[in-house]
Amino acid sequence: PGGVLGDVHRAVRHGRDVGDVGRGIRAVVWERVAGQAVLVGVALVVLLAFPSPVRPYLPVATASAVLAGLVVALLARALPRSGPSRWARALRTAAADVRAGLLARRTWLGVLTASAVAVAGHLATFLLAARTAGSTAPLTLLAPLTLLALLAMGVPANVAGFGPREGVAAWAFGAAGLTAAEGVATATVYGALVLVASLPGAAVLVARRVRVPAGTV
């Protein structure tokens, strides 16, 4: 529920392993931010290149997003970077995290590559789900629609990924001249495929449960 429990568990567990829960949480947050940024970038390129229900609105939406980003950057620069205030500490911490975790010379290329591979995997799985659900639409039409559904998955108001994804898929497929039922079927099959793909992870959880703790023998 909420679509973020896995991230919360991973963040807390990693933080406990390294003795700093706050840093573990921030690491997962920045990881998700990097992945979403790459997804948004890929989606903008594809949505601008191929027909989609949102194509007429993309120039305005892109300009608004850039303007909002500039406003946030200016506000961040206006905030005091020194002193004991909560905002100053948060700004210093965020800047240090970005420099060390996302933009560092030894990590930025790996972060970008891993995020791009993950986006490509999600997109390929969605396209496979569309074909499995019986869609015969060309890939140039399906790709923008599936990317809209993938963007909707970033909304933390779902249950195991189900919810906004199906709603946006139904709207996008219907607006593109297909059927809403086809969109819902595609999104549902995608969810089933991802669930099946994650099942081997249950073996890891079971193994951790039955493993004898060190020092008890």
The label of the residue with tokens 């497929």 reads: 173
The label of the residue with tokens 């993938």 reads: 150
State how far the Cα of 182 lies from the Cα of 185, in Å rounded to an integer: 5
Residue 172: count of CB within 10 angstroms of its CB:
25
Classify 147 as helix, strand or coil.
Answer: helix
pLDDT tens digits along 113-149: 999 999 999 999 999 999 999 999 999 999 999 999 9
Q: Is the pLDDT of residue 90 over 70?
A: yes
On whether residue 35 sits in a domain, the answer given is: yes
pLDDT tens digits along 68-85: 888 877 876 776 666 667
On whether residue 170 sits in a domain, the answer given is: yes
Number of domains in the chain: 1
Q: Do 101 and 30 touch, CB atoms closer than 8 A?
A: yes
Going by pLDDT thresholds of 50, 70 and 90, the confidence category of residue 3 is low
pTM: 0.80
Q: Is the pLDDT of residue 2 over 60?
A: no
On whether residue 217 sits in a domain, the answer given is: no
On whether residue 45 sits in a domain, the answer given is: yes
Radius of gyration of the chain, Cα coordinates, nearest whole angstrom: 20
Q: Do 145 and 168 touch, CB atoms closer than 8 A?
A: no
- CA dihedral for 10, 16, 21, 27, sign (positive or negative): negative
- Give me the mean pLDDT over the 1-13 stretch: 72
The label of the residue with tokens 């989609």 reads: 52
On whether residue 128 sits in a domain, the answer given is: yes
Domain, as residue range, for 70: 5-210
State how far the Cα of 28 lies from the Cα of 15, in Å rounded to an integer: 10
Nearest to 44 by CA among 31, 57, 33: 57
Per cent of the chain over pLDDT 90 is: 35
Q: Do 81 and 91 touch, CB atoms closer than 8 A?
A: yes
- Give me the mean pLDDT over the 197-203 stretch: 85
Four-point Cα dihedral 82, 88, 89, 91, nearest 10: -110
Mean pLDDT of the chain: 84
Residue 138: count of CB within 10 angstroms of its CB:
9
Q: Which residue has the higher pLDDT, 103 or 152?
A: 152
Count, residues in the chain: 217
